[in-house]
Each structure stands twice: as structure tokens, then as C-alpha cells.
């Protein structure tokens, strides 16, 4: 049973590294002494002290770094191939000094359990252990020995161990020289390896808690023979919280189950996550586990206090298998799952109930958030963490204030909006990639040393902020700014348009005044001059030469009146439309050609859209058109002219075609100044002028101007 237990515990152990070993005396080479910490168990060499047998000898093993442990497991190997070359009488001490030395503070190791693979060990005086002088012989084997010790070291930070071997004398030859071992060869030992393993730091708050029982527990004194049994078979209540599932406790069968209970004092009231009730590790009387009544009290029950929580475990009388464990949580009972005093009784009909190997209590173990970092920037840890945009990594410094430190993993975590699966960690600094913008919840669940996850979960809500340029506020800001800018632009354009319209209106008014003044004043004067010249021309006593001069003056005055009429028409703003322009051109062609005996046919649209035409455009088009008519009169010899006006794709197209004899090549090449002037006038207002021979003879002049 004991060997099986040690093997199971060592599966969850971590070896301790040693940096040096020194001895008060060593009978071999320095290299042989170092073999005691090289990790190899078997060797022909190790620590030995021959021939110094008259005084105790010690070896000090210094750890590579300080160690903290609830439980220590120490193994000493004597595997040199020499029978019985192991300590006959020895002790083990430890120190917490920062710089251990022979003269430092050394304390006896609080040994819980011990054993050997070959000889029999027993406790001696002063916390020393002694081996029997005559171990049993095992045919066909070399009696290499292995000693093991276990010790509870809670709250200790160990820096070194000291093993001291004491000299003994053989019983048959008491007067003989002392020896260090029962080795028949020379009485010396050979320690080939000194190994220490740290067992997991438990979160079981019931470990070593005081346990009381209402009645006596089972022992050999209650058997029929009344023979005292070996000490290890004596049951004590403390076996339920000693951390060793190989020890059990139950009442004697003579005690009625209803009158008996165990009571565990946890030292203070605790919020409990779960309880563990362990079945014994062999096949005997397993049914004493069923119908176990478990109660929790915040006050001492002897004062009459009522339980704050209770349950009847396995009410059907069933029981777990060998070495099994029942996990109890608050939801399996009634009341508040907390308290200081734990009572365990039985409602089973099986005598000797309840029987347990171990009682474990695990306090609520909740992680706490200490600090948050966004890249290198510290963030407040208040609920609702707000992470600024652009962060790449988040760091969460966690703390688990409850005692104990499970070795496998301290906690598990997840961001459930991203991944429902849990991830385990043994580092209290949790670093994760920053999630995308949105709302998330980090969940952290602490672990217990028995492999159970605590029911409580730390939840850390966090909001990953989007860049301002992607927020609704930015959208509305841009929209408002755009509207404001658009409004300003529209207002500016409107103001400019209004100002331009005012200017145009003022200009139109001025042009109207000028046109009116020219017509009323200059026109009237020219009319008066023409009338006077006609009157003088008809005077009887006027000499012929003067009469001819008067006729020329009258003709010039008439031409001036015609030019004035053209200027007044151009200046007048009421004619700044396409319709009046076309009507003017048509009328001018008819008036100009008819007196000369030239037939004029007009091909024009019946109505024209109200497109605006500037005074400059009207003037240049009118002058170019007049120039075309004059060229017909002067050079074509035509007796018929066709004037065509059309609006094509936003351009006014004027065709002036005659039936004359056409233009010579030199004239068509724009060598004459009249045609050159027409082209220049049209180019000035963005138009074109083309002069070519007509399809049926004569000449075709095409004027185009954008409207």
C-alpha cells in the first residue's frame, strides 16, 4: 500500500536541482562526491566516510534556487552494488538561510512518512531514523537500499538540506570499533544519489486542519484478542486531512451511526467552491461511504448554531470505486455554501460508517484583474475597459489571492465572442492580440490543485473603439461640414450671381439709356440734317456743283442713319436673344438686296428658343453677315440669294448661297481682306467662317457660332 502511494504522488512531482554538495569528510575523490547530485541513481562511487567512523559526518546539499512546497519527497539511493551500504543511523535537516553554511540555522525535517526498499527503518531519538542491524536476506538479489522520506513544508522557502550520519556499534561485538552502516565489508555507506522532489502546491484549505470525532476510532484494541496492533494501524481523526489518501478513519462498529460524526475546523469562515470526499484505496468495506450527511456551520455547532448548508451524499446508499472521489458543490445541497466547521456523519445502516480516506475543501478561487496594458499604455481597470483604436496587443496582469498554486495551469481564459474554447495558462501576465473594433468579454476561470475548475468566473467587459474616421459621429460631422461647405459655396455663388445680375441689370439699363439717347438725340439730329440737306438740294439758285455736293452729303447722312440704327440695335439689351438676332439678319438681307434687284429667299425656323446672345456675338455675327452680303453684291454677279438659319447641336449655322459666277481660286484661299475679316470676327467669339463654291455653282458662305 505504501509503495503504491509514493509512486502515485511522484507522478505529480517536480525534481529539485542542486548546485553544489560539501561534506565534513569524504573518503573518495571530489568527482565521486559530485555524483550524489548528478541525477544518476546507480554508481560504484558516491559519498563515503571511511575510515572516519568515530564522529558524526554531514553532507550539505545546496539547491540551485530557493524552493517553496507544501510537500517534499526525498529519496536517498545506496546503489553501489555493496550489500547493506546504507545509513545505520541518520537525520535530515533543512535551512532557509539565503547563504547556507555549516554554522547557519538548521532545523529538523518534519518527517511525515518514511520507508526503505530493503531494510526496516524506525524512528529514534532526536528525530533520527535508524535501520535494523539484520535485514532479511533475499536470495539472488544484491541488497542495494533506497530510503524515502516525506515532509510537510508549507510556508517554508528552502535553500539547502543537511544529512548527518551517526556511528553505531554492532550488538554482537559491543567492544568493537564503531561503523556507519551494517555493511559486512568495512562498515561504510555509499550514498550514490540524493534526490528531492516538490509535490504540487495544494489549494485544499482543509489540509492539516484539526479534526475531532465524537467517539473512538477503530484500532486493534477493539478486536476480540485485545492484542495491541502496530502503530500504523491505529486510526486517528487527523488521517482525514493529512494529505495521504492511504490513511483512513472510521468509528468502531459498536458506535451507533446516528450518534457519530467527524468535525473539521477550517480555522475561519470560507466561501467554498467544492468539497472532495475520497474513498479508501483498497477493496475492504467500501459500502461505509454511502448515505453520508455533510453539513457546514459558520458558528461552532456546540453553541447550538444551525447549519448554513447541508446535503445527503449518495442517498441511495451507493459508493464510489476503490480510490474514487465524490465532488460536492453548493447546488447539490440546500443553503449558502460557506462556513468554518464541516461535520460529516452517516445515515447508513452499515456499521462503522462513515469511512473516508481524505476530506478536501476548496475555497472559492477567483482571479482578480490588477492592471491592463494596451501596447505600452496603461488603461484603467474599472468595469467596461475602453481600448483606443490602433492597439495591437492587450496585456492583463492577473492575481489569484487565494492560497496554493496548481502546477499544471493556474487558470483558463477565453474571449467568447471570438472563440468559445478555453485556453490554459500558467502565467499571471496574459497577453492576447487586440480584437477588432467591437464589444467583447474576457473570461478567466481559476484552477484548483485537484484538477477542478472554480465555479466563479472573472468577466472583464471591454470595448475596442473604432477609429474616429469610422464612427457615426465622424460621418455626421463630415455630412454637416459638407452641407455647411455646400451651403457656403451655394451662398457665395448665389451672392455672386445676384451681384452679377445686378451688374448685368445696371449694364442693361445703361445700354438701354445709351440706345435711347442715341436714337432720340443723334438720330433726331441726323434726321434734321437729312431734311435740311434735301431742302437745300431743291433750292432754285443752288449751283450744280453745290447741288451734287448736297446730294453726296444727303447720301452720307442716310448711310450714317443706317449705321446708327445698327449700333442702337446692337446696344439695346432687349435684343440679347437668339430670336431677335435671327429676325434682324433676315430683315437686313431682304432690305439690303431688294433695292439692288437681287432676289432673297429666307429659310429660317418658325420660332427660336430664348437663348441668350451677348451684344458682342450679335455685333460680330451681324458684321460678318453684312460682309458676306456685300461680297455678293460687289463680286458675284448673282441675281438670287438663299439665306438659311438653323440651330444644330447648340450652334447657330448660317448659310448664305448665291447663284453668281463663283470666286476664283485665289479668292477661295482667303486672300481678300473681306473674307479674312469675316473669319477674324467669327474666331473672336468662338465661331467659324467657311467660304467655298456652291454645289450648284455660285458661292456658299457658312457661319457657325456656339449659342
pLDDT tens column, 681-691: 999 999 999 99
> Are residue 53 and residue 38 in the same domain, yes or no?
yes
Residue 53: pLDDT over 60: yes
Given a cut of 80, whether residue 527 has pLDDT beyond it is no
Give how far the C-alpha of residue 325 lies from the chain's centroid of Cα atoms, to the nearest Å.
40
Q: Residue 204: inside a domain, yes or no?
A: no
Which range is least confidently modeled, 555-564, 607-616, 663-672? Answer: 663-672
The average pLDDT across 48-56 equals 95
- Looking at the 3D structure of the chain, how many domains does it have? 5
Domain extent, residue 684, equals 577-706
Last residue within a domain, chosen from 575, 610, 632? 575
Q: Which residues contact 321 (CB under 8 A, 6 or more apart)?
A: 279, 286
Q: Is the pLDDT of residue 620 over 60?
A: yes
Co-location of 596 and 508 in the same domain? no
Enter the DSSP assignment of 412.
Answer: E
Please tell me the predicted confidence (pLDDT) of residue 523. 58
Asked whether residue 2 carries a pLDDT value surpassing 50, the answer given is: no
Q: Give the pLDDT score at 184.
A: 81
For residue 552, pLDDT over 50 is answered with yes
Question: pLDDT tens across 61-87, in order?
Answer: 999 999 887 788 899 999 998 888 999
Q: Is residue 28 part of a domain?
A: yes
Which residue, 172, 199, 226, sits at the end of a domain? 199
Do residue 107 and residue 60 come from a single domain? yes
| CB 372 within 8 Å of CB 434 | no
pLDDT at 1 over 60: no
Residue 283 has a CB neighbour count (10 Å cut-off) of 8
Give the tens place of pLDDT for each residue, 538-550: 777 767 777 677 7
- Helix, strand, coil shares of the chain as percentages rounded to 5? 30, 35, 40
Q: Is residue 206 in some structural domain? A: no
656 domain-assigned? yes
199, 233, 261: which is the final residue of a domain?
199
Is 440 within a domain? yes
Band the pLDDT of 348: cuts 50, 70, 90: very high
Residues 183 and 282 occupy one common structural domain: no
Residue range 175-193: mean pLDDT, rounded:
90
Instruction: State the cell numbers at 208.
Output: 492539516
Q: Are residues 11 and 80 in the same domain?
A: yes
In a domain, 637, yes or no: yes
Residue 11's pLDDT band (boundaries 50, 70, 90)? very low
Claim to verify: residue 608 and residue 695 sit in the same structural domain: yes
Query: 328 and 461 share a domain?
Result: no
10 has a pLDDT exceeding 60 = no
Domain identity same for 12 and 151: yes
Whether 570 and 589 map to the same domain: the answer is no
For residues 570 and 644, state if they share a domain: no
CATH number of the CATH domain containing 173: 2.60.120.260
Instruction: Give the per-residue pLDDT at 149.
Output: 92
Flag whether 268 is in a domain: yes
411 in the same domain as 341: no
Secondary structure of residue 63 in the 3-state scheme: strand
Per-residue pLDDT averaged across 355-359, rounded? 96
pLDDT > 80? residue 154: no
Asked if residue 223 has pLDDT above 60, the reply is no
pLDDT at 57: 97
Does some domain include residue 205?
A: no
Phi, psi (deg, nearest 5) at residue 602: -105, 130
- Do 460 and 486 lie in a common domain? no
pLDDT at 498: 84
Written as nine digits, the cell of 359 is 476530506
Amino acid at each position: 500500500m505504501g509503495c503504491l502511494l509514493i509512486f502515485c504522488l511522484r507522478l505529480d512531482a517536480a525534481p529539485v536541482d542542486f548546485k553544489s554538495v560539501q561534506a565534513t569528510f569524504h573518503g573518495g575523490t571530489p568527482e565521486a562526491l559530485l555524483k550524489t547530485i548528478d541525477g544518476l541513481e546507480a554508481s560504484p562511487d558516491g559519498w563515503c566516510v571511511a575510515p572516519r567512523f568515530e564522529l558524526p559526518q554531514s553532507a550539505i546539499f545546496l539547491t540551485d534556487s530557493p524552493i517553496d512546497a507544501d510537500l517534499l519527497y526525498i529519496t536517498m539511493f545506496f546503489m553501489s552494488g555493496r550489500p547493506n551500504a546504507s545509513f545505520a543511523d541518520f537525520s535530515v535537516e533543512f535551512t532557509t538561510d539565503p547563504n547556507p553554511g555549516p554554522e547557519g540555522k538548521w532545523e529538523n525535517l518534519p518527517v511525515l512518512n518514511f520507508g526503505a526498499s530493503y531494510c526496516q527503518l524506525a524512528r529514534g531519538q532526536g528525530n533520527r531514523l535508524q535501520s535494523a542491524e539484520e535485514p532479511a536476506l533475499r536470495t539472488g538479489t544484491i541488497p542495494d537500499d533506497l530510503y524515502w522520506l516525506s515532509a510537510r513544508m508549507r510556508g517554508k522557502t528552502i535553500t539547502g538540506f543537511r544529512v548527518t550520519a551517526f556511528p553505531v556499534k554492532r550488538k554482537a561485538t559491543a567492544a568493537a570499533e564503531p561503523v556507519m552502516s551494517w555493511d559486512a565489508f568495512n562498515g561504510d555507506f555509499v550514498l550514490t544519489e540524493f534526490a528531492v522532489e516538490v509535490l504540487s502546491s495544494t489549494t485544499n484549505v482543509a489540509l492539516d486542519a484539526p479534526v475531532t470525532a465524537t467517539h473512538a476510532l477503530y484500532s486493534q484494541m477493539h478486536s476480540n484478542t485485545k492484542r495491541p496492533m502496530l502503530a500504523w494501524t491505529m486510526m486517528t481523526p487527523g488521517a482525514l486531512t493529512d494529505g495521504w489518501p492511504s490513511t483512513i478513519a472510521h468509528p468502531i462498529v459498536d458506535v451507533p451511526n446516528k450518534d457519530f460524526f467527524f468535525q473539521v475546523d477550517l480555522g475561519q469562515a470560507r466561501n467554498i467552491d467544492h468539497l472532495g470526499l475520497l474513498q479508501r484505496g483498497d477493496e475492504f468495506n467500501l459500502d461505509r461511504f454511502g448515505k453520508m450527511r455533510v453539513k457546514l456551520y459558520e458558528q461552532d455547532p456546540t453553541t447550538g448554531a444551525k447549519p448554513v448548508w447541508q446535503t445527503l451524499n449518495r442517498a441511495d446508499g451507493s459508493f464510489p470505486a476503490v480510490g474514487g472521489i465524490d465532488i460536492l458543490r453548493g447546488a447539490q445541497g440546500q443553503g449558502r455554501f460557506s462556513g468554518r466547521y464541516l461535520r460529516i456523519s452517516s445515515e447508513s445502516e452499515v456499521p462503522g460508517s462513515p469511512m473516508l480516506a481524505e476530506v478536501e475543501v476548496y475555497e472559492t478561487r477567483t482571479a482578480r484583474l490588477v492592471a491592463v496594458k494596451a501596447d505600452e499604455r496603461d488603461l484603467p481597470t474599472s468595469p467596461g475597459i475602453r481600448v483606443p483604436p490602433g492597439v495591437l496587443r492587450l496585456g492583463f496582469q492577473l492575481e489569484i489571492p487565494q492560497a496554493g498554486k496548481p502546477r499544471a495551469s493556474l487558470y483558463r481564459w477565453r474571449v467568447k465572442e471570438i472563440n468559445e474554447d478555453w485556453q490554459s495558462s500558467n502565467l499571471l501576465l496574459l497577453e492576447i492580440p487586440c480584437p477588432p473594433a467591437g464589444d467583447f468579454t474576457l473570461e478567466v476561470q481559476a484552477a484548483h490543485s485537484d484538477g477542478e475548475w472554480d465555479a466563479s468566473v472573472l468577466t472583464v467587459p471591454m470595448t475596442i473603439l473604432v477609429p474616429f474616421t469610422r464612427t457615426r459621429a465622424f460621418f455626421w460631422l463630415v455630412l454637416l461640414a459638407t452641407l455647411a461647405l455646400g451651403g457656403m459655396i451655394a451662398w457665395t455663388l448665389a451672392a455672386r450671381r445676384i451681384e452679377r445680375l445686378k451688374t448685368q441689370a445696371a449694364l442693361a439699363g445703361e445700354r438701354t439709356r445709351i440706345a435711347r439717347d442715341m436714337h432720340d438725340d443723334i438720330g433726331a439730329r441726323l434726321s434734321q440734317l437729312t431734311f435740311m440737306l434735301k431742302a437745300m438740294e431743291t433750292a432754285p439758285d443752288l449751283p450744280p456743283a453745290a447741288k451734287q455736293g448736297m446730294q453726296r452729303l444727303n447720301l452720307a447722312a442716310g448711310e450714317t442713319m443706317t449705321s446708327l440704327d445698327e449700333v442702337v440695335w446692337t446696344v439695346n439689351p432687349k435684343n440679347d436673344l437668339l430670336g431677335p438676332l435671327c429676325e434682324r439678319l433676315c430683315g437686313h438681307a431682304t432690305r439690303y438686296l431688294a433695292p439692288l434687284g437681287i432676289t432673297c429667299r429666307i429659310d429660317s425656323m418658325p420660332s427660336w428658343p430664348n437663348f441668350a446672345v451677348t451684344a458682342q456675338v450679335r455685333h460680330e455675327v451681324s458684321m460678318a453677315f453684312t460682309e458676306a452680303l456685300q461680297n455678293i453684291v460687289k463680286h458675284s454677279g448673282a441675281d438670287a440669294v438663299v439665306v438659311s438659319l438653323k440651330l444644330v447641336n447648340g450652334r447657330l449655322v448660317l448659310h448664305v448661297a448665291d447663284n453668281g459666277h463663283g470666286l476664283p481660286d485665289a479668292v477661295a484661299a482667303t486672300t481678300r481682306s473681306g473674307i479674312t475679316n469675316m473669319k477674324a470676327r467669327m474666331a473672336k467669339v468662338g465661331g467659324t467662317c467657311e467660304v467655298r463654291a456652291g454645289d450648284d455653282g455660285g458661292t456658299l458662305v457658312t457661319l457657325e457660332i456656339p449659342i
